[in-house]
Amino acid sequence: MSTGFQERLANGNAVENAITVDLQARGVCVKKFGQALLAPDVRDRLKTTQSLLRWLPDLAGWQPSKPGMFLIDAKATMRRATANHSIELRVLLAARFTMLPTFYICDDFRALAADDIWPDGPILRTCCDGCWEKALADPTGRLLPSKCPEHARRGGGGSGTPYALVKKLHCRPLESLFGPVMTGAGDRRSTGSTSSDPRGA
C-alpha cells in the first residue's frame, strides 16, 4: 500500500467521521454502510469484480421521526481550488441500484443529491462521450471499462475510472437537506433550515 494511498485513506476517514458528527448534531442517525459492513476477505475479493456493490455509499442515515432512510457518500476534495467535483459513473449507477435517496457530502459540508445529478442534471462533462453512453445504456455498469481509455489517452491523473464532473456551485448547504444543528449539539457550524426532510430535496 503506497504512502499516497494511505494519506488519501486517512483523509477520507477523517472526512467521513466529521460528516457523521455534523449529521448527528442535526438529529440524523448515521451508521456504517456498504463495504464497511463486509469482512476484509470479502472486500478484497469484491475488488476483483466490477459489481456495483463496490461502489455503494459509505454511510446510511435516517431521521427517527420520519419513515425511510437515505445513503451518504462522504467525499474528500483532493484539490480545494477546483470549481468542480468528480463523481465516478459507477457511483451514480450504484445509487440508482439501491432505490434510496443518496447524497454526496463533501468536506466543505455541502451536498449533492444523486437524483439531482443523474441522468439529466447539471453534469459539466464526463471523462468521454463513450463512457457516458455506456453508462446510460446499461444500468448495471457492465459496459463501462474499468479505466476510461480517453482519460488515459489524454494523460489524465487519478484512478482513471469513468467519471462525471459537476460544478461545486450546485452543492447545497446541509441545513437545507437535513435541518439545522440542534441546540446543545457539539457542532454549531450551521443555523437555520428550509427543510428537515432530505427526501424532499
Q: What is the pLDDT of residues 101-119, one digit of tens each?
A: 999 998 889 999 999 988 7
Q: Given a cut of 60, is residue 200 above it in pLDDT?
A: no
pLDDT above 50 for 196: no
For residue 151, is pLDDT > 90?
no
At 8-52, the pLDDT tens digits run 778 888 999 999 999 999 999 999 999 989 999 999 999 998 899
Residue 107 has what pLDDT? 87
Instruction: Tell me what percent of the residues of the chain surpass a pLDDT of 70.
Output: 87
pLDDT confidence of 185, banded at 50, 70, 90? low
Average pLDDT of the residues of the chain: 86
- Is residue 76 predicted with pLDDT exceeding 90? no
The domains located in the chain, with CATH, are 3-200 (3.40.1350.10)
pLDDT of residue 199: 38
Quick check: 197 pLDDT over 50?
Answer: no
DSSP per residue, the chain: --HHHHHHHHHHHHHHHHHHHHHHHTT-EEEE-GGGGS-HHHHHHHTTS--GGGG--SEEEE-TTSSS-EEEEEE--S-TT-SEEEEEHHHHHHHHHHTS-EEEEETTSEEEEHHHHTTTS-EEEES-HHHHHHHHH-TT-TTS-SS-HHHHHTT--S----EEEEEGGG-EEHHHHH-PPPTT-S--S----S-S-GGG-
